[in-house]
Amino acid sequence: MEQNQIKEIIAQGKTALGVEFGSTRIKAVLIGPDSAPLASGGYEWENHWENGVWTYPLEEVWQGLQGCYAALAEEVQNQYGVTLGTVGAIGFSAMMHGYLAFDEDGELLVPFRTWRNTMTAQAAEELTELFQFNVPQRWSIAHLYQAMLNEEDHVPRIDFMTTLAGYVHWMLTGKKVLGVGDASGMFPIDSETGTYDARMVSLFDEKLADYGLHLTDIFPQVLSAGEDAGVLTPEGALLLDPTGTLQAGIPMCPPEGDAGTGMAATNSVAPRSGNVSAGTSVFAMAVLEKPLSKVYPEIDMVTTPAGLPVAMVHCNNCTSDINAWVGLFDEVLAGMGAKVSKSELFTMLFRKALEGDADCGGLLSYNYDSGEPITGFEEGRPLFVRTPESHFGLANFMRTHLYSALATLKIGMDILLEKENVQLDLLMGHGGYFKTREVGQPFMAAAMNVPVAVMETAGEGGAWGIALLAAYRVHKEPGQTLEDYLSREVFHGSAGVTAQPDVADVEGFRQFVERYRKGLEIQQAAVHCLP
């Protein structure tokens, strides 16, 4: 589009805004009628380790949101000469799961417990047995039940529980609702009814009886993609844009989790499709043709934003250890007086990994900054290990860390692909791991032994995905499914690059993971010896 066309589109509000709260960055993306990004804004933030809990203060949620929106509005002004006064629709998404519990006055009862906490092992195990459905430690219901088991005094005062995306949406619209994909990380969903599983709700209500609470009274209402989730209130508009420039009354789509926005951003919402998001954490999702044969503690059952069943393998750790090592190399270069940007350094080191041995030359690393339930760890200790005979060099060193970022994911995905014979035609990749595409893609293809594609637009990530869901909320035709809307209106003719699994790399990764499994005792010893 020409500059004048874009100006008119923005001025008339023929746009959609998506904002996603990631683990390390809050990002906003403004898209036009053709779904192409027009502007973006960001805000860096980090979780805090306070009193044994990974958390974000709610003050930082609003500082970050306002800073992110201000950066986007500034880019719109600078690039197009237009003051951003309205948009056609807005959507919010965030990291899923965790524990945000409020009293009847809307006051937070305990600090936000994020998905990263692994403090709910007893609750998760008991609920999995009760429901005969896998309940991971990070799910909201596990956090609630663990608080009950711990006899925490705030539990009887709970009036409302939600996720981070649900909280932001509530503050901006007054609506206590949640997209079905995000809700499926709070409590099991019945895909037939599109809401919380009634049998399991009844079972849990028996646990809540002593508190005089009912689950559906304290959990958000579940909505599917495209449904009316309210509008931006005048108070909400000022929360988002304290300058008072943004107008109220803008339609809002159901708030979603980062899993759902990843599916939307990669057009992975139909059966036999899948996507993998690799950044601070890593998760792969497969939209199922039929239910799994049994319950697996390594496999989460969630849904697409439209409510279809999805098998999800989620790992808490992915690129953080890589980032730490790149930071160390950056310090060395700075000490030598060399001027190399972080971006250039990442690219060089990633590409160096292509020169390494297919099995990483006998090297081994564990990227566990935090616990990793799939392999049974409540805590983590980043480790690098080698023998005197290992082929120790920069290429194998980097390849080892890039493999390690995917190793736990492969352990979980092998259950789906080998034990359950789940068929995937293609995995769509997005996230920082794929930034150096010619490295991240083939390594992921080797790990999963499935073709991996990355779209040109996937770099925009979940913020773009929730912007698409906001656009679907206002632009869908009557009866048009999300799958049809994305295929016809967004991804039709989109360019992308697909990496096929390389036979030698597939075998090399298999050997690496075999070594990785055997070495998990080293990780156990590290957790024990380094409290």
Tens-digit pLDDT profile for the chain (531 aa)?
Answer: 788 899 999 999 999 999 999 988 999 999 999 999 999 999 999 999 999 999 999 999 999 999 999 999 999 999 999 999 999 999 999 999 999 999 999 999 999 999 989 899 999 999 999 999 999 999 999 999 999 999 999 999 999 999 999 999 999 999 999 999 999 999 999 989 999 999 999 999 999 999 999 999 999 999 999 999 999 999 999 999 999 999 999 999 999 999 899 899 888 898 888 999 888 889 899 999 888 999 998 899 999 999 999 999 989 999 999 999 999 999 999 999 999 999 999 999 999 999 999 999 999 999 999 999 899 998 999 999 999 999 999 999 999 999 999 999 999 999 999 999 998 888 988 888 988 889 999 999 999 999 999 876 555 678 999 999 999 999 999 999 999 999 999 988 775 789 999 999 999 999 999 999 999 999 999 999 998
Q: Enter the tokens of residue 505.
A: 């790399």
- Rounded CA-CA distance 471/74 in Å is 22
Q: Token match 């150096």: residue?
A: 436
pLDDT at position 457: 59
- Rounded CA-CA distance 98/162 in Å is 9
- Alpha-carbon distances of 19 from 250, 479, 483, rounded to whole Å: 14, 26, 22
Closest CA to 446 of 505, 395, 511: 505
Conformation bin of residue 222: beta by default, left when phi > 0, alpha when psi is -120 to 50: beta
CA 359 to chain centre: 29
Closest CA to 222 of 137, 305, 101, 308: 305
Q: Enter the tokens of residue 526.
A: 């590290």
209 CB-contact burial (10 Å; exposed 0-12 / middle 13-18 / buried 19+): exposed
Q: Enter the tokens of residue 379.
A: 């805590």
Sign of CA dihedral 461, 467, 470, 471: negative
Q: Token match 């995995």: residue?
A: 427
The answer to whether residues 87 and 73 touch, using CB atoms and an 8 Å cutoff, is no
- Rounded CA-CA distance 303/87 in Å is 28
Closest CA to 227 of 206, 247, 252, 208: 252
Closest CA to 295 of 161, 428, 135, 141: 135
Closest CA to 230 of 245, 256, 249: 249
The count of other CB atoms within 10 Å of the CB of residue 148 is 17
**pTM value?**
0.82
Write phi, then psi, for 231 (nearest 5 degrees). -130, 160
pLDDT at position 458: 52
Q: Token match 């997209």: residue?
A: 179
Q: For the chain, first and last CA: distance in Å?
A: 57
DSSP state letter for 155: G
The count of other CB atoms within 10 Å of the CB of residue 246 is 23
The answer to whether residues 112 and 62 touch, using CB atoms and an 8 Å cutoff, is no
Write phi, then psi, for 177 (nearest 5 degrees). -130, 170
Fold of 3-266: Nucleotidyltransferase; domain 5 (3.30.420)
**Strands (E) located in 64-220:** 90-94, 100-102, 160-162, 177-179, 189-190, 195-196
**Structural element, H or E, at residue 8:** helix 3-11
